[in-house]
Amino acid sequence: MLFPQNMPLLRTLKCNIILPRIPFHLYNRNYCHSGAGESFVPFDALVSQRRNEARRSLLVEVAGLPSSVDLHQVCSQYGAVQKMFHYTTRQGSVNKEMILVEFDKAESLERALQSTRSPPIDRIIPVHSPFVWLSASQPAPRNRKANIGSSTDIIQETVPSDEELQLQLSQSRDLSEQIQNVYECQKLTELGSRLRFFTCRQVEVALSGLFPQACILPFGSSVNSFGRVNCDLDMILELFDVSNQDSTQRLVFQAKKSRSAANPRITMQRHMEVISDILDNFVPGCSQVRKILAARVPIIKYRQDLTDMECDLSMANRSGFYMSEMLYLYGSMDKRVRPLVFAIRKWAKDRHVTSPYAGRWVTNFSLTLLVLFYLMKTSPPVIPPLQTLIKLAGDDDVRTADGINCTFLRDLRIVTASDNKQSLEDLLRGFFEFYDKFSFKERGLSIVRGDDFVKPEHSALYIQNPLERELNVSRNVTLEELERLRTEITHARYRLEEYTQHIEEQEQQPWGLLSLWGTSRKPQAHRGLNASIDWQGVFHIQEQETPPTSNKQLNVLPVHAATKSNEKVPSNGEKARNNTKFQPVERTKMLKEELIMPSDLNGLVTKLKRNVVQKNANGRKNKKQKMNKVMYKW
């Protein structure tokens, strides 16, 4: 081994997240008294633990994994090191080796940062931040007190490639196990979660001089437990919190009067202009900074190259955070919810029902609500409607944000487990069957009541916003896109039906989820990634009441001169938070040619239906008998 004798012993621990198989007959029958399980961690506790880790963490670029020995020794001068995670990120053609170091105490990190030096200032802008690099070793000063006795594992997480996932799925024992495996392989990893909170912390640190109370909270899939590895990072910035102040204090900060106090929206846009300039000019790793300030919820989009993630930063959107908490609670309520949502999100992504780009199609958020609604409609229900959680809420659960009541039960330990014992396979089939028959034309869906209702307006798809109940979260979805969704649902339903009937003939064929994803089909164009997109429509850009800056720069203009506004299409930020105001994007000729149209699929679906009917007519064993046969196989 390369390590010198006087170095602390470092072990490389390879954490492969492909888990050993779970005996599937045990899965989902393993209920405890509480639906969420005794190990349930309340959302607030989870967020505060992650924020705390981020406050004690340092991200260090190193020459390679062997430098971790050196790094451990350097860091140990300032205090005990608790954990070290290694990952590689790619910038252009260059790989960067990164180590996230977690100290035992925040003071140790402070000491480390106080001793950190800046490179020569003629080349760069020196910035104080927890993003550093480890320079080549120099002779150690005599008084250096390295914590020689300690050791720390270097944790590396391996995420299976698409090919590995496919292999694993093809070797799964049944569809339920496939669904569980998709979840285990694709869920956000420990490092992924830490890096998201750490990326938030970076912006807090950057603003802390003027705003020591600045708080950046992640929301969306980074924290709602439905996030995939590499999902984007949605953030809310709150510059100050005046709610918890002692109003009897005699000393009061001097402050400037806001220039556009009469219009809080313009004030917010001005603030975001400044923040985006700070990110663009000073904050290490931030690139491709763009301001989308005229959207209903103004956002700053950027890429954090060193933590390798796409970021959307908004201000004053705390209800989005509570929305994520609500989804987190539903994900925790029953072990089947997250795997099912993952499998359906993956199906929708692969069938191009959803897209990373905003537009007139269903978003992951809407799709998740569709799954939750279905799970409320099973018999017996897998999860209760939101109004049950609202009724159970205590005094500690009261929250309001932006004038919206976000009160619901937070501690799931008092919620008992569902009596529903269906397998993941049954639930997946049930999902497709349920929505294949659902009357989207006339009915809207509400997870608040756990029931459908007559649509109050003519949007193609009506999913009630669970917190702002007069809004439809899927108002952006056009009739054509809804039709595509329905057709894909019918297609999936009959694919699964066919798989059941041919189970013993399919040894060599893609089966179960693999047959749904259509791996053999030619790749389709990414919707929305096209220069002719109507940006005004996508972001619902309005004329500014008063230009926030003298040069009138606003809208989707890149901050960075080298970034063209149409190079990268914004993903989630404009989000359907733009809700009711979303405008459709024109489909281009190219997209028309490459997208599979509902009519194409109808042919396929019809064919599949015919197969099923034909085989039943031929007196083949019915589905139940077939399934029994499958069960006996192992």
Q: Applying CB under 6 A, which residues contact ligand GTP?
A: 219-221, 224, 227, 231-232, 234, 320, 323-324, 363-365, 465, 473, 572, 575-577, 579
The whole-angstrom separation of Cα 624 and Cα 51 is 50
Q: How far is the CB of 363 from ligand GTP (least distance, A)?
A: 5
The entry of ligand GTP, Mg ion, none near residue 418 (CB within 5 to 8 angstroms by kind) is none
Using the minimum distance from each CB to Mg ion, give the nearer residue, 286 or 612: 286
A 10 A CB-CB count for 492 gives 28
Q: What secondary structure letter does DSSP report for 136? A: P
Distance set, CA 417 to CA 30, 32, 435, 448 (Å): 10, 7, 25, 19
User: DSSP states of 348-389 as a string?
Assistant: HHHTTSS-SS-SSS--HHHHHHHHHHHHHHSSS-SS--HHHH
| Residues in touch with Mg ion (CB under 5 A) | 220-221, 232, 234, 572
Using the minimum distance from each CB to ligand GTP, give the nearer residue, 97 or 234: 234
Q: How far is the CB of 224 from Mg ion (least distance, A)?
A: 9
The whole-angstrom separation of Cα 340 and Cα 496 is 15
- Say whether 91 sits in a helix, a strand or coil: strand
The angle subtended at Cα 325 by Cα 321 and Cα 330, nearest 5°, is: 150
Tokens of 573: 């930020």
Q: How far is the CB of 223 from Mg ion (least distance, A)?
A: 10
The whole-angstrom separation of Cα 348 and Cα 585 is 20
Using the minimum distance from each CB to ligand GTP, give the nearer residue, 323 or 559: 323
Using the minimum distance from each CB to ligand GTP, give the nearer residue, 223 or 286: 223
The entry of ligand GTP, Mg ion, none near residue 445 (CB within 5 to 8 angstroms by kind) is none
Q: Do you know the residue count of the chain? A: 634
The entry of Mg ion, ligand GTP, none near residue 311 (CB within 5 to 8 angstroms by kind) is none
Q: How far is the CB of 188 from ligand GTP (least distance, A)?
A: 10
The entry of Mg ion, ligand GTP, none near residue 601 (CB within 5 to 8 angstroms by kind) is none
Using the minimum distance from each CB to ligand GTP, give the nearer residue, 475 or 493: 475
Q: How far is the CB of 572 from Mg ion (least distance, A)?
A: 4
Q: What secondary structure letter does DSSP report for 80? A: -
- Is the C-alpha dihedral spanning 24, 25, 28, 32 positive or negative? negative
Q: How far is the CB of 64 from Mg ion (least distance, A)?
A: 32
The entry of Mg ion, ligand GTP, none near residue 285 (CB within 5 to 8 angstroms by kind) is none
- Check if the beta carbon of residue 258 is closer than 8 Å to that of residue 246: no
Radius of gyration from C-alpha coordinates of the chain = 26
Q: How far is the CB of 535 from ligand GTP (least distance, A)?
A: 18
The whole-angstrom separation of Cα 455 and Cα 442 is 6
Q: What secondary structure letter does DSSP report for 413? A: G
Using the minimum distance from each CB to ligand GTP, give the nearer residue, 176 or 472: 472
Using the minimum distance from each CB to ligand GTP, give the nearer residue, 103 or 342: 342
Using the minimum distance from each CB to Mg ion, give the nearer residue, 199 or 572: 572
Nearest residue by C-beta to Mg ion? 220
Q: How far is the CB of 231 from Mg ion (least distance, A)?
A: 6
Burial of 54 from C-beta contacts in 10 A (0-12 / 13-18 / 19+):
buried
The whole-angstrom separation of Cα 335 and Cα 424 is 10
Using the minimum distance from each CB to Mg ion, give the nearer residue, 332 or 354: 354
Q: How far is the CB of 24 from ligand GTP (least distance, A)?
A: 27
Using the minimum distance from each CB to ligand GTP, give the nearer residue, 265 or 609: 265
- Is the C-alpha dihedral spanning 536, 540, 544, 548 positive or negative? negative
Q: How far is the CB of 304 from Mg ion (least distance, A)?
A: 14
Using the minimum distance from each CB to Mg ion, give the nearer residue, 233 or 492: 233
Q: How far is the CB of 365 from ligand GTP (least distance, A)?
A: 4
Q: How far is the CB of 11 from ligand GTP (least distance, A)?
A: 34
The whole-angstrom separation of Cα 529 and Cα 559 is 20
Tokens of 519: 């791996």
* Type of residue numbered 459: S
The angle subtended at Cα 350 by Cα 349 and Cα 351, nearest 5°, is: 95
The entry of Mg ion, ligand GTP, none near residue 563 (CB within 5 to 8 angstroms by kind) is none
Q: How far is the CB of 329 from ligand GTP (least distance, A)?
A: 13
The entry of Mg ion, ligand GTP, none near residue 579 (CB within 5 to 8 angstroms by kind) is ligand GTP
Strand order in the sheet with 286-292: 215-219, 233-238, 309-315, 299-304, 286-292
Nearest-10 Cα torsion for 558, 561, 565, 569: -80
Nearest residue by C-beta to ligand GTP? 576
Q: What secondary structure letter does DSSP report for 610? A: H
Using the minimum distance from each CB to ligand GTP, give the nearer residue, 103 or 365: 365
Using the minimum distance from each CB to Mg ion, give the nearer residue, 220 or 548: 220
- Check if the beta carbon of residue 75 is closer than 8 Å to that of residue 103: yes
The entry of Mg ion, ligand GTP, none near residue 365 (CB within 5 to 8 angstroms by kind) is ligand GTP
Distance set, CA 464 to CA 77, 200, 221, 329, 472 (Å): 55, 30, 19, 18, 5
- Say whether 478 sits in a helix, a strand or coil: coil
A 10 A CB-CB count for 281 gives 13
The entry of ligand GTP, Mg ion, none near residue 500 (CB within 5 to 8 angstroms by kind) is none
